[in-house]
Amino acid sequence: MTCLIPLRVALSLVTGLAGAAQADTVAVAVASNFTAPMQKIAAAFAKDTGHQAQLSFGASGKLYAQISHGAPFGVLLSGDDKAPAKIAAEGKGDASSRFTYAQGQLVLWSPQAGYVDPQGHILKKSGWTHLAIANPKLAPYGTAAEQTLATLGVLAQVRPKLVQGENIGQTYQFVATGNAQLGFVALSQVMANGQIPSGSAWVVPAAMHAPIRQDAIVLNSAKDNPAARALVQYLQSDKARSIIAGYGYSF
């Protein structure tokens, strides 16, 4: 018995198979501050393109070190512009692919409502014992936190109270769990849909620290990977930028 498939259905099946055959996977090293938005973007990217982005999160300095030692990442989404610039200069990535995917924002945050005042004056007061920041040697947000404290003239005063996280993700956990009463974290970690839904915060004016320019670069291992190129393009799309902006980043 011969089974006849309508031409329209057959074409649909062929198109679907072709799309599946063309789908690829790229391993992406992502700065910890960009965890929440990148998880959303990766899901939308897979739905819209068929490609998959396998995400690994960490401090930008550690991700750079892993890449330098041959870690099989295809794309780096750094928390700064220094690591991608080094990778390009060292010939480990495609310099022409490097671009700024987001401009980060630092915030002083506590999970306790009313604890942090909108001007950050609490930093000059007593009554708290621990202030969490990311390691300035590994994480750009830690560098920005130190610069902010120096600008305020309180760095020497508060240094004995500093608790350092290896990356901004661990720093956030110190504050969220109460191991530090307050901490400098990424605005993206406490903001969703343009709002800070819980706790209290001081959004640090950008002039108080060097810009947190976050760059991306395609690594040599993925120069011929369609998923890597597609992801870089997708990060610059209106849909991705809308997600990124919702977490407090600018461009």
Of 3.40.50.300, 3.40.190.10, 3.30.1490.20, 3.30.200.20, which CATH number belongs to 105-208? Answer: 3.40.190.10
**The pLDDT value given to residue 192:** 85
Q: What DSSP string runs through 122-190?
A: GGGSSS---EEEE-TTT-HHHHHHHHHHHHHT-HHHHGGGEEEESSHHHHHHHHHTTSSSEEEEEHHHH
* Confidence band of 66 (pLDDT split at 50, 70, 90): very high
25-103+212-246 and 105-208 have identical folds: yes
Give residue-wise pLDDT tens across range 97-133. 999 999 999 999 999 999 999 999 999 999 999 999 9
3-state SS, residue 21 = helix
Q: What rounded mean pLDDT belongs to the chain?
A: 92
Provide mean pLDDT across the span 138-158: 97
Domain boundaries, the chain: 25-103+212-246, 105-208
- pLDDT of residue 28 exceeding 80, the answer is yes
Q: Any idea which of 9-13, 93-97, 134-138 has the lowest mean pLDDT? A: 9-13
Provide mean pLDDT across the span 155-166: 97
* Confidence band of 23 (pLDDT split at 50, 70, 90): confident
CATH code: domain 25-103+212-246 is 3.40.190.10
Q: Which residue has the higher pLDDT, 14 or 244?
A: 244
**The pLDDT value given to residue 37:** 97
- pLDDT of residue 14 exceeding 80, the answer is no
**The pLDDT value given to residue 21:** 46
- pLDDT of residue 71 exceeding 50, the answer is yes
Provide mean pLDDT across the span 137-141: 94
